[in-house]
Structure 1
Amino acid sequence: MISESSSFVKGMVLGGLFCVFVTLIGHNKMGHGTKAHHHEHHHIQAPNKEDVLNLSEGERLELSHSIRVYCIILVKPKDLGNWAAVKETWSKHCDKAEFYSSESVKVFDSVVLNTNDMWMMVRNAYKLAYERYKDEYNWFFLAHPTTFAVIENLKYFLLKKDASQPFYIGHTVKSGELEYVDGDGGIVLSIESLKRLSKIFEDPDKCPEQGGLIWKLSEDKQLAVCLKYTGVFAENAEDSEGKDVFNTKSVGSLIKEAMANHPQQVVEGCCSDMAITFNGLAPNHMHVMMYGVYRLRAYGILLPPPL
């Protein structure tokens, strides 16, 4: 098992790499970017770094106000430690973050869903998010409390994506004929996808609340089935080098795998420089990641002024 110090080292590495780009993160302009016919492909990449570097300051400022990310974190009372860690760390970087809980918990504010079933939690959280925020946010990011997310990297990835198109993004997995986004790595829906999803929720034959075959599937598979009926398909998110940016494992696990498979190139073999999520983190490791990504700076490296 990888120690906390390994996570600390990787956090520092990611932090140094991330700092070069954190102030270049843009926001998407509606009507500009990937078109719907691209969705026949199930792998989409982040923009080239050069494209962002060539943006003028005015263009970056304009873009920075057009992508609005609303974060949905699903929690249960047993998650109190991670709940507190997420609240204190990465969720502060969302344009708005809310915790959707299975039941009321006195120590934290949350949107109470009054169900312990994960599919019902996902379903109800999306319904409420759409009803309340469809006119305020154009990207909706759903995560578990064991997930650490770098929201700036998410916005960088979405730089040239058009939220009026049906995007459903994350780490994709194939299960038989069904391709779905693994919830452990986080799920991103554009406002168009959420709009379609909210409509299919009203069709019990295609997207039932319970009962039937769909009820036997995990919540992320059930979501994919419902979205498929609307013409929205899962797409795997990759950086410009083809590396996954949504990770369903922790940094420690990925380093351990890289050490075994690529001992001469542990950092390169581990993770993307522009990784968006890691999963399976304990609360203390979230704080280590927060330090590495957002606070650590390498002396002598000049950074552009923040937006």
Structure 2
Amino acid sequence: MTAETLMPERKRCLLLYFITGLVIGALLAVVVSFCSPYCRKLIQSNTRYRHSHLIAVTNNNKNIPTDLSQTIRVLCWIVSNGKHQKSRAQHVKRTWGRRCNKLIFVSWQNDQELGTKPEDSGNSWSKTQAALKYIYANHLDEADWFFRADDQTYAIMENMRYFLYNYSPETPIYFGHKVKDHISANAGYVLSKAALRRFVEKALPNDKLCIRNSTRTESIELSECLENVGVILGDSRDRHGCARFVPFRLNKYLTSWRRDYTIFKSAEDLTCCSQTVIAYNFVMPYKMYLLDHFIYHMRTNNTAIAPISLPLR
């Protein structure tokens, strides 16, 4: 076969390759055009839930601040047993307590590092009355919400502020973990400014509305006193019905016995706790530092916190 006869055959092969490439390219373009909306949704859905335990807020509305720490001012008051001040309370101050707008420690033992405030020498209920009266008299205008915790509580203040953003501090309301007939103080509770006012101004002065000398626990008496002056116990669960205030150790909370204690039931034990938890209790000091590290410092590779919009007020 001569060179003259090979040339037309080579041209035909090149033309065939060219046409084949055009067809494959067109098919790929069609596939990509149909796939791209789905792919975008898939990517968005995957990134939306990364680090969803810690809420980051996007500023879609220029009038809404991305940092809620000055918009939702929270005073945290920590009840500490004097003998545990060095072993527990100071670790609250060094971890999550730094994110409160104001941090107060209430204890019978004076501590210059913590700046403790004196408490009543009676039971938990009398101590609570004394603490709330002190806060009302000295710090009412320094915060919008007042969060009670103890020295074994670990709170995620960003989640608390995001949750509270939807409520006015002038609404008489409070939040915590609701049990059968009252709240549990174990994971803490947070009162609005209006709720604190009603408690001190209306409930405490009236023995018919609030029994000041009761020997019952703080949780029961406080719930009854607040109810008697029209303060609402709000629902702090997330949209899946999962708890934001967790009053037990997590290993205990996942067991069946807690079903008899809590008023709200989760669908499954493993979904008992919200992805936007506000507070845990019975957290040992070293675990507070671990939680601080995992929540605020550690990130998996090539991931980002997905911003979400603030809820409507």
Query: The TM-score by the shorter chain falls in which range?
Result: 0.7 to 0.9
For the 8 Å contact 2:93–2:114, the answer to whether it is kept is no
Instruction: Say which of 199, 202, 206 aligns to 2:205.
Output: 202
Per-residue CA shift, 1:59-100, capped at 9, x if unaligned? 134865321100010111122212122111111111111101
SS class of match (2:235): strand
> Superposition RMSD on alpha carbons, in Å?
2.6
Taking a change above 3 Å as real, the CA distance of residues 75 and 116 of structure 1, as seen in their structure-2 partners, is farther
Which structure would you say has the larger Rg?
2
For the 8 Å contact 2:136–2:197, the answer to whether it is kept is yes
Instruction: Say which of 176, 189, 192 aligns to 1:190.
Output: 192
Q: C-alpha distance in 1, partners of 2:112/2:276?
A: 37
Q: CA deviation at 1:229?
A: 1.5
For the 8 Å contact 2:59–2:65, the answer to whether it is kept is no
SS class of match (2:52): helix
Counterpart code for 2:96 = W
Counterpart code for 1:231 = G
Q: C-alpha distance in 2, partners of 1:156/1:107?
A: 30
For the 8 Å contact 2:242–2:272, the answer to whether it is kept is no
Taking a change above 3 Å as real, the CA distance of residues 288 and 254 of structure 1, as seen in their structure-2 partners, is farther
Q: C-alpha distance in 2, partners of 1:149/1:235?
A: 18
Q: CA deviation at 1:241?
A: 1.9
Unaligned runs of 5+ in 2: 1-48, 257-267, 308-313
For the 8 Å contact 2:120–2:126, the answer to whether it is kept is no
Which residue of structure 2 lines up, in the alignment, with residue 100 of structure 1?
Answer: 106
SS class of match (2:141): coil
Q: C-alpha distance in 2, partners of 1:273/1:71?
A: 22
TM-score of the superposition, structure 2-length normalised? 0.72
Unaligned runs of 5+ in 1: 1-13, 25-52, 258-264
Q: How does 1:1-307 map to 2 (within 5 A)?
A: 16-19=51-54, 21=55, 23-24=56-57, 55-61=60-66, 65-80=70-85, 81-105=87-111, 108-175=114-181, 180-199=182-201, 200-210=203-213, 215-254=214-253, 269-303=271-305
TM-score of the superposition, structure 1-length normalised? 0.73
Counterpart code for 2:173 = F
Structure 1 ranges of 4+ moved more than 6 A: none
Q: How many residues align?
A: 247
Q: C-alpha distance in 1, partners of 2:50/2:83?
A: 30
Taking a change above 3 Å as real, the CA distance of residues 16 and 256 of structure 1, as seen in their structure-2 partners, is farther
Taking a change above 3 Å as real, the CA distance of residues 70 and 271 of structure 1, as seen in their structure-2 partners, is same
Counterpart code for 2:277 = A
Q: C-alpha distance in 1, partners of 2:146/2:287?
A: 25
Q: C-alpha distance in 2, partners of 1:256/1:86?
A: 27
Q: C-alpha distance in 1, partners of 2:136/2:99?
A: 20
Percent sequence identity is 27
Taking a change above 3 Å as real, the CA distance of residues 225 and 270 of structure 1, as seen in their structure-2 partners, is closer
Taking a change above 3 Å as real, the CA distance of residues 285 and 252 of structure 1, as seen in their structure-2 partners, is farther
Which residue of structure 2 lines up, in the alignment, with residue 29 of structure 1?
Answer: none
Higher relative contact order (CA 8 A, sep 6+): 1
